[in-house]
Amino acid sequence: QQNVGGEHSRSMLRLTRSAVRLATASASAVRSAASMALAHDPANKRFTLYMEGKSEPAYVTYEPVGDGSILDLQHTFTPASLRGQGCAEKVVMAAFNHAKEHNLKIIPSCTYISDTFLPKHAELASLVTH
C-alpha cells in the first residue's frame, strides 16, 4: 500500500507542478495583454501597436482609395525588439476589425498581409477587394 500511496503523492506532485506552470503562463499572458495598446491614427493613416517599455511601435500603414470606402493596406512594420510576438498580426487584425465595423473593404498590398496573414484568417476574405 505504501507503493500505491507513494505513486499517488508523485502523481499529485506532477499535477501541482503543472498547475504552477499553467498559472505562471496565464499570468504572463495577462501581463503582456495589459501592457499593449492598439490605436488608429487617421492623421498618419496607420494602425499602431504600442508595447510598454518599447520606444518603437509596430504599425500598418494604409491609403484610403476612392471615396474612402476602401483601405489599401500598404506596409506592415515590426521593430526588431517586438518581432516573434505576434505584433504584426495584432496590428493588421485591428485594421481588419476597423474595416468590418465601418463597412469598408481592404486591398492587401502588403505582402505580409496577402502571403501570411490572410491565409491564416480565411474568415476575413469577404473584406478583401483587389
Q: What is the spatial distance between Cα 39 and Cα 37, in angstroms, rounded to a whole number?
A: 7
Alpha helices in 35-124 (DSSP H): 87-101, 111-112, 118-120
Catalytic residue among 49, 104, 110, 127: 110
Max CA separation in the chain (angstroms): 79
Instruction: Say if CB 84 and CB 105 are below 8 A apart.
Output: no
| Residue 110 annotated among the catalytic residues of the structure | yes
Please state whether 103 falls in left (phi above 0), alpha (psi between -120 and 50) or beta.
left
CA 128 – CA 4 distance, rounded (Å): 61
Q: Which residues are catalytic?
A: 110
